[in-house]
Structure 1
Amino acid sequence: MLNLSSIIESSALKFPDQIAFKYRNEEYSFAEINATANKVANALSKLGLKKGDKVALSCVNIPYFPIIYYGILKAGLVVVPLNINLKTEEIIYHLKNSESKVYFCFSGTDEVEMAKMGYEAFKKVDECLEFITIMPSRKSYSFLSFEELIADESTIFETSETHSNDTAVIIYTSGTTGNPKGAELTHFNLLMNSKICKELFHISENDTQLIVLPLFHIFAMTVLMNSGVLSGCCNILVPKFREETILQLFQKHEVTVFAGVPTMYLRLTAYQPSQIDLALISKKLRLCISGGASLPVSAIEEFEQKFNVPIIEGYGMSEGSPVVTFNVNEELRKMGSIGVPVYGVEVKIVDKAGNEVPIGTKGELWYRGHNVMKGYYKNQNATAETITNGWLHSGDIAVKDEDGFYFIVDRAKDIIISGGVNIYPREVEDVIMKHEAVSMVAVIGVPDEIMGENVKAYVVLKNNQKLNEEELIIFLKQKIASYKSPRSIEFLETLPMNATGKILKKKLRKKAILW
């Protein structure tokens, strides 16, 4: 038997009174989280759900998320975390595609619309039998609340028997091409990845993690929540990223570990706090973890100079549970690299025919190991296209150096082909980021009748900085080949991002075409 929920049960025995999660002024011990998760499992079992049935969960970063998450797993059911930004029609798709039988939906006083949209979606999915609100709003709706669901349930529950290859979680991809696909991750996938993160980052019961990355995303779910619970450390939950709030919490809770995406680090570097003691923060903060996208070397250096703490970069994806590679530590790292394969994972770089290429040659990154998903739920064709003899095709263009370190060049779908020549947006972005006035940048290809595509850059400037298109083009002429240099540059206040802070180039492409 193997059930991922064993990690909360184990920590509840080892560290019963230690604080597992903090949210605002609320604190929940490991014993309390485990006991309430048992009540959830009892309630779900009484609803008549059977082993392997799916339960959808829309929830911001509050203690209800881990309580419901582990409760679902304890009952032998499958967690289907949903992006909290989904609209009604999108929720309908996810509920139908996942065949969810129960839907937990957050509805705080400031988030009433989420419950309304969730309920509207629920009513249109006959297979979904129960709608349960989390933190019911002050307005009166005829919803079953979380508190009502578990009110009379026991805090004792015998965990359902599940096996290593049983599906624990279905994570939906972002859907940049076509409808989102549900990656089936097993109990073994997620437990192994959590153990690796615990050991890789040396997380222990003495650590305090700040979790602002959304828990519905695999990055926060595995790298922070699951590994944190496994380690017995304290986890500070934050629903929204605001620079001042994050820094205040760093200082107040003496945070030791933080994980974020590149945009978060860029914003923290540029932000000038009012009454924050950065020296005090740096004294306690021992490790920053970056993933989700590549972070320019110049940005790493600026952040580390300001906060005196290393950023360790890695690489992962939903289909990989998520961690595939990571830099080992501050001493054994290469800036700009995604590191080396983690324990039990193999990586290779291949050409279009699937043949491994020589060191230093660009190609698609493939990997295999304990982290590879079971497959896409109800989508055998997509699974067959993505996994070959156990090797998962990442869709990312990478290169391996002579020391065995891997570097992401770009997404295969993001490559710009201009006049028959491949241009990698990441390379252009890295050069633009070297300009002292630039805060963020995204480079895309835009249609051109003669060249096929031309390079276009969208740039966000740092506060109180001035820069025009001509000045930036002159700057780039001295640093990058002319065929790679943007033919047009547009300055924006912000770049479109998803809930994890990843830049949405799909929206920029639409904007460029409409313009």
Structure 2
Amino acid sequence: MTTAFNLAGLLDESAEKYPRREAIVCTATGSRLEFAQLRSAANQVANLLVSRGVQKGDKVALSCVNIPAFSIVYWGALKAGATVVPLNVLFKEREVAYHLDDSGAKAYFCFQGTAELPIGREGHAGFTRAEACEHFFMITADPSADSPIDGTETLAQATKDMAPEFECADTDEDDTAVILYTSGTTGQPKGAELRHSNMRDNALAGADIFGLDAERPDTFLCVLPLFHSFGQTVIQNAAVAYGGSVVMLPRFEGGSALRLMRSEGITFFAGVPTMYWGLIGALKEAGDELGPQNLERLRVAVSGGSALPAEVHREFEERFGMTILEGYGLSETSPVASFSVWGEKTRVGSIGKPIPGVEMKLIDPDSWNEVDPGDDDAVGEIAVRGHNVMKGYHGRPEATVQAIRNGWFRTGDLGRRDEDGWYYIVDRAKDMIIRGGYNVYPREVEEVLMTHPDVSLAAVVGVAHETHGEEVKAFVIRDAGATITEDALVVWAKGQMAAYKYPRQVAFVDRLPMNATGKILKRELT
């Protein structure tokens, strides 16, 4: 038996209870929207979509940076009963066309972007190549401006005559609310279909995980891209569910983030490890001006997306006086599957315990059998079951069967579990290096390298080798003023770890390639 529920009901409920509370703040656009205003704007989008023939279950694609328009279109599409398909703003024409075609999107909202990042130009070019997508709306930086592409309609123009009232469409909690595309590191990207109930329950889990309370609303700094599941659920949707305020930053930069934390009284920060690395670097550079004494309202700092290096963990706690709560999840799990237990002492390096309503176990990747649960040293692939697991991959039943069995979703991540039930990521199964028959986990090597005083950040990959199959290679960003040489770092590493683990090759770089969410793109390192 299923139950009627629309994720957009979270917005309607908060708009009824807290109409005058600030829902969104965006200094980049000079916007401050109260909940009542956010709902009215979303209602106009819903009326627009219905007027253009968008029906329940149709797909609405969205390419937009962290500005209010993202949330307005997101909630408006849901209100109309449509499924939202957020797209990475870095996509080029070909990639946009693929995602529009693969999802079967009927309408597409696209931010114009900038000269350096022409999102609108690439998006419109992709739209013209998509066979089934019927409607294109340009989101302009200035709502009063015309579209930079002749013949295209702007969001503001399309909604100006639309009524600000709309009765939320009846959807079932098992209907698909959002399709989030995976990174596509192997083969073409796949769209994870997430139910209204998946997204709702993951957002509402914030009460148990972080102590969110509508009577004591938090102010969230949104630096994670909203087209990604982490920012969408943990920041946007959780804030709406608990009457909090989202302060949007379109592009992460450590100094800007610290200034917003201070000026807007941020209480909740979430980021990926490279963002914490950026905050620490900005604090070192700025000194007392942006010091932690100016961030006294910050009560929660959470990390996800990839493993948080222990050195970053330690230095953030030392400089900011608070511990980062590390969590774990994937697009296919809405995304949160586990988190460090709020209020308990954090175990550095652990992704915590499964959140309420979710189970985790370690399995043998080949047989799906659970590895010995009593062995603290046993390594297995992490599998997840619970209210957060996706419906399946859109249009790919065979891929769905390969990924989900008896409700258990296999993550592709290798982990271990301690005697108290806390989980630890060992590495991505696909990132594991096999050197001369020995398994080398890049994260372990990275952690060791980052304990060297001259090393700021490290990424370790396997490169082809004639006799060993793969060799261990480290790409390293040094601290400012560091003098160590590449050969000297190899010698140092040799004294710190087993002979098969230490990197025989080290390359110093000024930057590491990252995607839009701040994850290091190891596939681009050779």
Give the TM-score band, short-chain normalised: over 0.9
Counterpart check, 1:223 vs 2:223: no
Stretch deviating more after TM superposition (82-91 or 473-482): 473-482
Structure 2: distance between partners of 1:101 and 1:270 = 44
Say if 2:5 and 2:196, in contact at 8 Å, map to a contact too.
Answer: yes
The answer to whether residue 122 in structure 2 is matched with residue 117 in structure 1 is yes
**Can you list the C-alpha shifts for 1:58-117, whole angstroms capped at 9, x where unaligned?**
000000111100000000000000000000000010000000000000014556722111
Contact 1:397–1:408 under 8 Å retained in 2 = yes
Partner residue of 2:312? 299
| SS at 1:276 equivalent | helix
- The one-letter amino acid of 1:267's match is G
Do the aligned partners of 1:247 and 1:276 also contact (CA within 8 Å) in 2? Answer: no
- Normalized against structure 1, the TM-score is what? 0.97
Deviations 1:193-216 (A, max 9, x none): 000024311223431110011000
Cross-structure match for 1:496: 513
CA distance 1:111–1:20, change in 2 (3 Å): farther
Judged with a 3 Å threshold, the aligned counterparts in structure 2 of structure 1 residues 269 and 330 are, in CA distance, closer, same or farther, namely: farther
Give, in angstroms, the shift of residue 388 of structure 1: 1.1
Please, which of 313, 316, 323 is the counterpart of residue 336 of structure 2? 323
Partner of 1:56: 61
Summarize the Cα distance change of 1:485–1:405 in structure 2 as closer, same or farther, 3 Å threshold: same
- Residue 21 of structure 1, aligned match among 9, 20, 24: 24
Q: Is the 8 A contact 1:286 1:310 kept in 2?
A: no
Instruction: Structure 2: state its 5+ residue gaps.
Output: none
Question: What stretches of structure 1 of length at least 5 have no aligned partner?
Answer: none
Of the three residues 158, 164, 171, the one matched with 1:162 is 171
User: Following the alignment from structure 1 to structure 2, what is the Cα–Cα distance between the partners of residues 378 and 326?
Assistant: 31
- Contact 1:312-1:330 at 8 Å conserved across structures: no
The aligned amino acid for 1:310 is T
Which whole-Å CA distance do the structure 2 matches of 1:296 and 1:23 have between them? 31
CA distance in 1, matches of 2:441, 2:118: 40
Residues 1:354 and 2:395 aligned together: no
**TM-score, L = length of structure 2:** 0.95
> Where in structure 2 are the equivalents of 1:73-92 lying within 5 Å?
73-92=78-97
Q: Distance in 1 between matches of 2:397 and 2:49?
A: 30
Query: After alignment, is 487-496 or 111-120 more displaced?
Result: 111-120
Select between 371-380 and 193-202 the one with higher mean Cα deviation: 193-202
Post-superposition shift, 1:442?
0.7
Cα deviations across residues 115-145 of structure 1 (Å, max 9, x unaligned)?
1111111111131001100016664622111
CA contact (8 A) 1:350 1:366 kept: yes
Residues of 2 paired with 1:123 and 1:473: CA distance? 52
Q: Percent identity?
A: 46
User: Structure 1 CA distance, aligned partners of 2:26 and 2:293?
Assistant: 22
- Aligned pairs (5 A) from 1:90-105: 90-105=95-110
- Establish whether residue 341 from structure 1 lines up as the match of residue 354 from structure 2: yes
**Aligned letter for 1:141?**
D
Alignment of 1:406 onto 2:423: yes
- State the AA in 1 paired with 2:245: C
Which letter does structure 2 place at the counterpart of 1:212?
V
Counterpart mapping for 1:6-405 below 5 A: 6-24=9-27, 25-108=30-113, 110=115, 113-135=118-140, 139=148, 141-205=150-214, 206-271=217-282, 272-273=285-286, 276-351=289-364, 352-358=366-372, 359-360=375-376, 361-405=378-422
- TM superposition shift of 1:331: 2.4
- Checking the alignment, whether the CA contact within 8 Å between 2:14 and 2:243 is kept in structure 1 is yes
- After TM superposition, the runs of 4+ consecutive aligned structure 1 residues lying more than 6 A away are none
Looking at structure 2, the residues matched to 277 and 87 of structure 1 have their Cα atoms a distance apart, in angstroms, of: 37
> Aligned partners of 1:301 and 1:38: how far apart in 2?
46
Aligned pairs, number: 509
SS of residue matched to 1:79: strand
Secondary structure of 1:284 counterpart = coil
Change (3 A) 1:42 1:336: same
Report the Cα distance in structure 2 between the residues aligned to 1:329 and 1:398, rounded to whole angstroms: 21
Q: Residue 248 of structure 1 contacts residue 276 of structure 1 at CA under 8 Å; is this kept in 2? A: no
Match for 1:449 among 466, 472, 475? 466
Provide the rounded CA distance (Å) in 2 between the counterparts of 1:276 and 1:65.
32
- Is residue 469 from structure 1 mapped to residue 469 from structure 2 by the alignment? no
**Contact conserved, 2:323 with 2:346, CA < 8 A, in 1?**
no
**Counterpart Cα distance in 2 of 1:364 and 1:277:** 41
Post-superposition Cα deviations, 1:298-350, rounded to whole Å, max 9, x if no partner, equal 21010111111220001000000000010112524311100000011111101
Given that residues 415 and 425 in structure 1 are in contact (C-alpha distance below 8 angstroms), is that contact kept between their aligned partners in structure 2? yes
SS at match of 1:409: strand
> 8 Å contact 2:121–2:149 — kept in the other structure?
no
Q: Does the 8 Å CA contact 1:254/1:281 hold for their aligned counterparts? A: no
Q: What secondary structure is seen at the aligned counterpart in 2 of 1:3?
A: coil
Change (3 A) 1:444 1:112: closer
1:437 is aligned, of 446, 449, 454, to 454
State the alpha-carbon separation in 1 of the partners of residues 208 and 343 from structure 2: 15
Which whole-Å CA distance do the structure 2 matches of 1:147 and 1:274 have between them?
42
265-274 vs 15-24, greater mean Cα deviation? 265-274
Task: Report deviation, 1:357.
Answer: 1.2
**Range with greater deviation from structure 2 (428-437 or 107-116):** 107-116
Equivalent-residue separation in structure 1 for 2:396 and 2:507 (angstroms): 39
